[in-house]
Amino acid sequence: MASEDRAAAGVTREEGSLGHQRIAFTVMVVLFVLAPFVFYPVFLMKALTFALFACAFNLLIGFGGLLSFGHAMFLGTAGYVCAHAAKEWGFNPEFAILFGTGASALLGIVTGLLAIRRQGIYFAMITLALAQMIFFFYVQTPFTKGEDGIQAVPRGMLFGAIDLSRPLAMYFFVLVIFLAGFLLIYRIIHSPFGQVLKAIRENEPRAISLGYRTDQYKLLAFVLSATLAGLAGATKALVFQLASLTDVHWTMSGEVVLMTLLGGLGTVFGPVVGAFIIITMENYLAALGQWVTVIQGAIFVACVLAFRRGIIGELGHWLKKPL
């Protein structure tokens, strides 16, 4: 990314009033609360889990400047672990999700320790290589059931009381998880930790010279991003009652890059918009089969050429307010 892009979404103007972000957030919440009464809840739940996944990814690239090309491993790992816990060990949904998220956090620590030692393309390649190793592990290990995936995962009773097999109950459960994740990310990027992260993104040697141990900051950002991606993956497994190889495949890592870029790298709301656009396309263009990928590719090219800040990034630039 060129430095002007970073400046556009960057540190300086974000220091101003954040009131308009509160308004945008309120609008988003109202829309999401009303949406299931108009649209098909399963579709919305899918979009919400991907929105959370994209937000988690954006935390790393948009604010830490680290392009991970292996985020599917966190999405998929949490999905498999959550599905296994819910189906084979009979965990309650809330514990199954926590358990899956925890597994991704652990994986994030291990892979993060290896990956953050390098920058730029080497960082991306290391994460991709690790993700491919994880993918191969899931293809071969018996508990994931190979191409079949873990099927018929029970949604169960939330806190032993709320029956999640009802679509609306499940929807609001997913919405609460999404909003919690979203607010956590919002809090992180506006905390002192987030400020240091942005400083590292802009100029790492300078941050080091100011006395920050940048490796520790980057590792923490990586683990946080992995954990939140895991939260999305675990929730997704319960929504579809299925954990499959699609979620750990490298194309999933590519898809989340696309969602984030399309919505707006380094913006708060961009990944949510990007995720909804991509998922809507996949859903309504599904009849075109393999052509969906071609169309996505074309959109990606158009986006990079015409509006590099992404939809929300351009909108924010136009309104002169960071969104």
Partner 1 sequence: MLQKRSALLAVSLAFAAGAAQAQISDGVIKIGVLNDMSGLYADLTGPGSVVAARLAVEDFGAAKKGMKVEIVSADHQNKPDVGSAIARTWYDTDKVDVIVDVPTSSVALAVSQITKDKGKAFLVSGAATSDLTGKACSPNTIHWTYDTWMLANGTGNAIVKTGGDTWFFITADYAFGHALERDTEAVVLKTGGKVLGKVRHPLSTQDFSSFLLQAQASKAKIIGLANAGGDTINSIKQAAEFGIVKAGQNLAGMLVFLPDIHALGLQTAQGLIFTETFYWDLNDNTRAFTKRFSAQAPRNLYPSMIHAGVYSAVIHYLKAIEAIKSDDGTKVIAQMKKMPTDDPLFGKGSIRADGRKLHPAYLVEVKKPSESKGPWDYYKVRNTLPADQAFRPVAEGDCPLVK
Q: Which is nearer to partner 1, 80 or 222 (CB)?
A: 80
Q: Which is nearer to partner 1, 8 or 277 (CB)?
A: 277
Total residues in contact with partner 1, by rule CB under 8 A:
23
Question: What is the phi/psi pair of residue 69, to 5°?
Answer: -115, 30
147 binds partner 1 (CB under 8 A): yes
169 binds partner 1 (CB under 8 A): no
CB 282, CB 61: distance < 8 Å: no
Question: What is the phi/psi pair of residue 157, to 5°?
Answer: -110, 120
Please give the structure tokens belonging to residue 240.
Answer: 């579809």
Please give the structure tokens belonging to residue 111.
Answer: 């892979």
Q: Which residues contact 270 (CB under 8 A, 6 or more apart)?
A: 58, 62, 260, 263, 264, 310, 311, 312, 313, 323
46 binds partner 1 (CB under 8 A): yes
CB 296, CB 258: distance < 8 Å: yes
- DSSP-derived letter for residue 81 is H
Position among 33, 34, 110, 139 found at the interface with partner 1 (CB under 8 A): 139
Q: How far is the CB of 208 from partner 1 (least distance, A)?
A: 44
Start-to-end CA distance of the chain, whole Å, equals 19
Q: How far is the CB of 201 from partner 1 (least distance, A)?
A: 34
Tokens 């999305």 — which residue?
232
Position among 2, 38, 152, 161 found at the interface with partner 1 (CB under 8 A): 152
40 binds partner 1 (CB under 8 A): yes
Pairing mode, strands 162-163 and 157-158: antiparallel
87 binds partner 1 (CB under 8 A): no
Give dist(CA 188, CA 182) in Å, integer: 10
Q: How far is the CB of 282 from partner 1 (least distance, A)?
A: 9
Position among 247, 263, 267, 314 found at the interface with partner 1 (CB under 8 A): 247
> Which window, 41-49, 91-99, 179-187, 216-224, contacts partner 1 (CB under 8 A)?
41-49
Give dist(CA 229, CA 53) in Å, integer: 5
Restricted to residues 215-244, the positions that interact with partner 1 (CB under 8 A) are 240-242, 244
Q: How far is the CB of 73 from partner 1 (least distance, A)?
A: 17
Give dist(CA 280, CA 219) in Å, integer: 33
Q: How far is the CB of 151 from partner 1 (least distance, A)?
A: 5
Restricted to residues 94-133, the positions that interact with partner 1 (CB under 8 A) are none
Position among 10, 35, 43, 307 found at the interface with partner 1 (CB under 8 A): 43
Q: Which is nearer to partner 1, 217 or 240 (CB)?
A: 240
Please give the structure tokens belonging to residue 276.
Answer: 């909804």
294 binds partner 1 (CB under 8 A): no
Give dist(CA 100, CA 119) in Å, integer: 28
Q: Which is nearer to partner 1, 195 or 241 (CB)?
A: 241
Position among 132, 195, 214, 246 found at the interface with partner 1 (CB under 8 A): 246
Q: Which residues contact 132 (CB under 8 A, 6 or more apart)?
A: 70, 250
Q: Which is nearer to partner 1, 145 or 321 (CB)?
A: 145
Q: How far is the CB of 244 from partner 1 (least distance, A)?
A: 5
- Would you give the distance in Å from CA 11 to the centre of its chain? 22
Nearest CA-CA partner of 238 in 85, 55, 36:
85
Q: Which is nearer to partner 1, 277 or 311 (CB)?
A: 277
Write out the residues near partner 1 by the rule CB under 8 A. 40, 42-43, 46, 139, 145-149, 151-152, 167, 240-242, 244, 246-247, 286-287, 289-290
